[in-house]
Amino acid sequence: MEKTLSEMKYAAEGEALKKSAWPRCDQLASDLAKRGPDALPALQDALSSRTHHVRSACLRSIKSINEDLAKALAEKFLKDRAYEVRETAAVILGVEIPN
């Protein structure tokens, strides 16, 4: 199955987000989120970034589109190696920040 032009654009933007640094990643994730649910695959893919700022930005942006999805994804990130990501996940879930 071939990707549409829109899907390819989101994928490219998701790759750029995945490789970005702070504070640019916050802006890229926010820009994607403004486009709504079509951006979710790119944001979810970027959650695999090695950069903790990107993972946090993606979780926040996913929450702005679909809170239930963000909560489901946040469970996994409560055990992230980076405190900032654990904090973001805890805020989304309304729980204490794990050490």
Predicted confidence (pLDDT) at residue 3 exceeds the cutoff of 80 = no
**pLDDT per residue as tens digits for the range 43-96:** 999 999 999 999 999 999 999 999 999 999 999 999 999 999 999 999 999 999
Confidence (pTM) = 0.92
What is the structure's pLDDT at 36?
A: 96
Domain ranges for the chain, please list them.
5-93
Radius of gyration, alpha carbons of the chain: 13
Residues 46 and 19: beta-carbon distance below 8 Å: no
Which architecture, in CATH terms, is 5-93?
Answer: Alpha Horseshoe (1.25)
